[in-house]
Structures are given as C-alpha cells and as structure tokens.
Amino acid sequence: MTKRYFELYEDMSSPERWVLHDTLDSHGQKVGPRLYLNDASIRFDGRLRIPILHPGHPLDFSLADAGDFPVVTEKVASTLAELAPGDVQLYPAEVDSRPEPYFLVNVARLVKCIDDETSEEVLYWKPEDNRPDLLGQYRSVGGMRIDPSKVGDAKVFRPWGYPPALLVAEDVKEALERTGATGLKFTEVTGPSPLSDEERAYKRKCSELLDPPPAARRAAWKSLGTLDELVVAPRGGSYEFPAYRLDWAIIHRKAGCILLASEGLSDPFIAKLEPSVGFGLELVLETEGTELPLDAIEGSWPYNLLERVSQEVVAHEHVREGAKAGLLVLEVAGKGMPASLVTKEGRVGVLLGLESRTLPRQFPTPFGDVRLVTVKALLPAELAYVSKRGAEGAAELARRFAETGEEHVSRTNRRAVV
C-alpha cells in the first residue's frame, strides 16, 4: 500500500488568531539563522523567547520567524517527539504573556522527493535571478506532489530544494489531529496529480512561451545600467496585456538617474499560444533619482505617468503603432502629478519615441526584436507648442531636447525649450 504524506500549514482561516514574531535568545538576538536546518541540535543559554507580533487567540500550532519555525504547545511537542524523534529538534520557549510551556520546532531533515512531473507547477532559480546560493533549487512549487518511494523512514521532513514546505507522514497527521490541537491544516502531497494531461500540456506550453522574454529583457536592462534586484515595484496587469501581466524594472544609470521600464508589453499573446513579441514594444522613462523614491515607487509621479501611458498603449492600436513608428504626442490624466507638468485642463503631455544617444532603439528577444519607446514628460508650454504645430512641432521639440544634452530624460524642475 502506497504511503501518504501531507504538507502541514498554519491554519490562517481565523482572523482573530495571534501572529508570532521572531524567536529571540536570552541576549535578545534572533536564533533563526543559526538554527534553521541544522542537523545537530544547538545549545542555548536560557530559555528562548517568542514575542507576539499581533495579539489574538493562541494556537497549539503557529509559525514564527516569518514561517520558518513551528511553535507548538506541549501536547503537539510530545506527539512529534514520540513519532519522529530523529526528525525534529524541540527547544523550550516562552511566548510573551502566556503561562503555559511552548516549544520551538526545528525540522532539519531534508528529503529529495518532489516529483516535478506530477506537481502542478515547479519553477527553479536560474542564473539570471542572481541568487547563486539558490541556483538549481525550487523557486516555487504549486500543487506539490512527492514520490513516496524516496521518503524512506522520515516522518517529519522538508523537501530538498524547497525547505519552506513542512511535510508529515499520515500517522503523524492522524496523531496530531487526535490531540485536538488548534492551528493545524493539512494538504495531501501524494496521490493523483491535480492536473489532467491536457492541463499539464497547456501549462508546459505557457511556460515555453512566457519564460524566455523576461530573461531577454533583463539582459537588455543590464546593458543600460545596474538593475536593481532589491526594490519591489508594483505588479499589475489585466486581460488586455499579452500575457495578462505587467511588471516594472528599475535600472540605475549614470549621473544619479533612474530608468523605469515596463515589462510585459512584449510578452507573447498567451491566448494564441504561439511565439510573438506581443505589442512589440516596452516603455522607459528616465528621471533623476530624487524624483523616483525607491521606498514609495507606486506613489511617485514617474510610475503613475508610465503606468497611464502603458494603459493607453494597450487600449489603442494607433498609439502603440505610432510610438513604434516615430514621434507621438499623447495626453493623460494629471491627477496626482507635479503642478509643473499639469495643464490648466488637468492633463499631462508626453512625447513618445524620442531617439537617444544612450539608449538603443530596440533589443533582441528569442521571438524577435522589441522596440524601446522612450517617454518624456512635457511642460504645459511644450504641449501647447506641439499641439499647434503637429508633426513639425514634435520634430522641433526633439531637436531642442537633443541640444540640451538630455533628450529623453524627464524632469519637473527644468525650463521649457519653447
């Protein structure tokens, strides 16, 4: 009979449950980095302490240290010690404001058992992710399935390559449930795959189409400056985007400037399931670093402006085709924009497609070349000038911007060139 195994989570269904913080030793130092996944038990002077991050109903099974360590009551700890003594390390701990004993659980046993073929989706860390310490391990595992024949005698363990997951054997699950412990949630990771053969083939085809473009874009961004790997820019998207997604890249340039770039307009059209460069372009806006605060990107005017332009590009064919062909003037809503950019009518003008001496006109991807379309914010006087003169006015603005030496760079504290 095939053995059954389950992933163990903290039950998050109750909005009134407590939330635990990082575990501290007697000196007030975090224990996580020293303890996590250590085969041999570590000795600590004094009892460990676990602060409560958000008060609420206490649970018999909770996760502390951002989900790394289970924190359990004595009845859960006793069950684990009885059924899996070689798999877990139990450390007495005090949870602030609670009189009963608790235990921090370190599960250090790793088993290479994830079944890539039957799991719903597996993604690996790749060289372009710039995490050499994680290269070849799992970045995410959806609908996990494991191969029971590879587990051996492990009762409580973590899957090799994806240690955030905590797995238990069926007899451990049943014993824990018999205790009546609160906070436990189990999902089976053995048995039939959650995907049909047709669904699996579809997801594989989607991956073949959607995985190459981001790597090509990252290579392009790195050629333009230093790609910021730490800043998290807002993610968005809708069914109007080729692959229903829109991300952003932050590239640090010379002289303290930052380039904000869209990522997703050149994805293949996922609905067609065939290689393409989507709309065939990506948008970039360069500005001074002081105008794009990295700790509040979503509320900044460069982000809001580029996001509004991207919506226009997606919604209107004549906008994206005009931007790819040459210079194009566009107006978007001025709400929340700096006063120096907003017209009396509450609009902000932009000039798309300015050529630049420091940016390429296009960049290569596995499915074809993608046009890099610059977005420059216009001052109201410049928008009025080009509105009266049309294409000739746009060309004249481009010439004057080039004379200033900044071409495509957007600033709010500059003088109009007209």
pLDDT of residue 38: 85
pLDDT score recorded for residue 363 = 97
- As a whole number of angstroms, the distance between CA 108 and CA 170 comes to 19
Mean pLDDT of the chain: 92
At 406, is the pLDDT very low, low, confident or very high (cuts 50, 70, 90)?
confident
Question: Cα 38 vs. chain centroid, distance in angstroms?
Answer: 28
Neighbours of 349 (CB within 10 A): 23
Residues paired with residue 57 on neighbouring β-strands, in sequence order: 17
DSSP-derived 3-state class of residue 3:
coil
List, for residues 126-156, the tens digit of each pLDDT value. Answer: 876 777 888 889 999 989 999 999 999 999 9
Rounded Cα distance, 357 and 187, in Å: 56
**pLDDT for 317-374, tens place per residue?**
999 999 999 999 999 999 999 999 999 999 999 999 999 999 999 999 999 999 999 9
3-state DSSP assignment of residue 69 = strand
* Closest among 191, 154, 219, 178 to 60, alpha carbons compared: 178
What are the structure tokens assigned to 183, written together? Answer: 């906070």
What pTM did the predictor assign? Answer: 0.67
Q: At residue 1, does pLDDT exceed 70?
A: no
Q: Which residues touch 353 (CB under 8 Å, ≥6 apart)? A: 322, 323, 324, 325, 326, 327, 328, 373, 374
At 313, the amino acid letter reads V
Q: Strands, DSSP E only, in 272-398?
A: 281-288, 328-333, 347-352, 362-365, 368-377
Torsion angles phi and psi, residue 61, rounded to 5: -135, 115
Residue 135: predicted pLDDT: 86
Residue 225 pLDDT greater than 90, yes or no: yes
Which of the 8 DSSP states describes residue 225? S
- pLDDT at site 128: 67
Give the residue from 371, 411, 382, 374 showing the smallest Cα distance to 255: 411
How far is residue 309's CA from residue 298's CA, in Å, rounded to a whole number? Answer: 15
Strand segments (E) across 264-359: 281-288, 328-333, 347-352
Percent of the chain clearing pLDDT 70 (strictly above): 99
Cβ-proximal residues to 72 (8 Å cutoff; 6+ apart), any chain:
60, 61, 62, 80, 102, 103, 105, 181
Spatial separation of the C-alpha atoms in residues 41 and 33, rounded to whole Å: 13
Question: Domain residues of the chain, as ranges?
Answer: 5-188, 211-404
d(CA 67, CA 267) in angstroms, rounded, equals 34
Please give the backbone phi and psi of residue 282, each rounded to the nearest 5 degrees, phi first: -135, 150
d(CA 361, CA 276): 19
pLDDT, tens digit (0-9, with 9 covering 90-100), for 273-290: 899 999 999 999 999 999
Which single residue is written with the structure tokens 């014993």?
Answer: 175
